[in-house]
Amino acid sequence: MTRQKKYSLSELSQLISLPFEGDPNTVIAGVGTLSGATEGLLTFLDNPRYRKQLPETKASAVVLSFENKKFSSIPVLISKNPYLDFAKVLQLFDERPLPAAGIHPTAVIGQHCKIHPSARIGAYCIIGDHCEIGAESCLWPRVTLYDSTILGEQVIIHSGAVLGSDGFGNARDGMKWVKVPQLGRVVIKNNVEIGANTTIDRGALDDTVIEEGVRIDNQVQIAHNVKIGAHTAIAGCVGIAGSTTIGKYCLVGGGTGINGHVDICDGVMLTGMTGVTKSITEPGIYSSVISAQKNLAWRKMSVRLRHLDELFERVERLEKLEKL
């Protein structure tokens, strides 16, 4: 919930270009959820599962679809995409301070870096040699960029993220490992946001590249030579192995694991905890996880799975007998 500014309902209607119904002088001083909002706050309804909360909300107004306005007894802003338009309202109320433009005095900056004057480098950031940071980009405190990392314009990187660390490259020499030097870079294009404690490894030879408009959540691991297409969104705790390519406009659910040297085409949605072991060549929704169930049922199923090969062989034998 926020309470920084005040708008009338008619002012909000003009600012986000939405029609409204109800008292135009309704005062909106902040935002809140359907169940948590109080008088003076704006809420929204997008997911139909929460429609039952609408008659009980204490909010002063609500953003919702034309189909749902008949269920509201309070003023409404009518939207084709309530979640998107509510996000626009949130931006109006968001007054959290950004780091000041420029470089915080505690940051450590390497040699031969190119940092745009409008960029924001927070406290205790570490920027390696030959890095480039574009206009209006923002590094929150304790971000680390290894040497030669390239950031475009309007890139946001949250605290603890590490870009350009060595990829996991090792060659077997008998009973020991020999490190494979990682000579590529990390290249981040314009308008990308990277969550806290996410790591993006530099390429072994070619660059690791994150294209324009990508959104990456907290605690994501992106290995060397990965390519992620424009406007793809990746939720928390995803692991992407090396030399994988993910297309444009993909959605990757939390906890998903993607094998190395895999190609995923544009427009793919991977639901949470999915394991991807081979390339995906057709757009669509893909899943592989078994949902939680009572332990006893899971144990029975596990026992049966162990006998699956045996059952398959029995069915094959029976089919052969039927053909005789």
Residue 231: active-site member: no
How confident is the chain (324 residues) per 10-residue block, as mean pLDDT? 76 97 97 96 96 96 96 97 96 87 97 98 98 98 98 98 97 97 98 98 97 98 98 98 98 98 98 97 94 91 90 90 78
**74 with 140, same domain?**
no
Neighbours of 137 (CB within 10 A): 24
Assigned domain for 167 exists: yes
**Residue 31, φ and ψ in degrees, nearest 5:** -135, 160
**188 with 125, same domain?**
yes
**112 with 45, same domain?**
no
Where is the domain boundary, 29, 63, 93?
93
Contact 147, 131 (CB under 8 A): yes
Contact 102, 125 (CB under 8 A): no
Predicted confidence at residue 291, as pLDDT, reads 83
- What is the biggest distance separating any 2 CA atoms in the chain, rounded to whole angstroms? 85
Assigned domain for 247 exists: yes
Predicted confidence at residue 5, as pLDDT, reads 84
**67 with 192, same domain?**
no
Contact 261, 278 (CB under 8 A): no
Predicted confidence at residue 100, as pLDDT, reads 86
Give the chain's domain count. Answer: 3
Assigned domain for 81 exists: yes
**280 with 300, same domain?**
no
Catalytic choice (224, 231, 261, 307): 224
**129 with 60, same domain?**
no
**241 with 106, same domain?**
yes
Predicted confidence at residue 238, as pLDDT, reads 98
**255 with 155, same domain?**
yes
Predicted TM-score (pTM) of this structure: 0.90
Assigned domain for 158 exists: yes
Assigned domain for 80 exists: yes
Assigned domain for 268 exists: yes
Token digits for 134? 């574009």
Where is the domain boundary, 93, 120, 144?
93
Contact 164, 149 (CB under 8 A): yes
- Which residues form the domain of 42? 7-93
Contact 83, 65 (CB under 8 A): no
**160 with 86, same domain?**
no
Assigned domain for 148 exists: yes
**183 with 64, same domain?**
no
Which residues fall within 8 angstroms of residue 120, CB to CB, at 6 or more apart?
A: 98, 99, 100, 101, 102, 137, 138, 139
Contact 128, 66 (CB under 8 A): no
Distance in angstroms (rounded) separating the CA atoms of residues 213 and 192:
5
CATH number of the domain that residue 51 is part of: 3.40.1390.10
The amino acid present at 316, given as its one-letter code, is: E
Assigned domain for 1 exists: no
**164 with 80, same domain?**
no
Predicted confidence at residue 2, as pLDDT, reads 44
**134 with 203, same domain?**
yes
CATH number of the domain that residue 171 is part of: 2.160.10.10
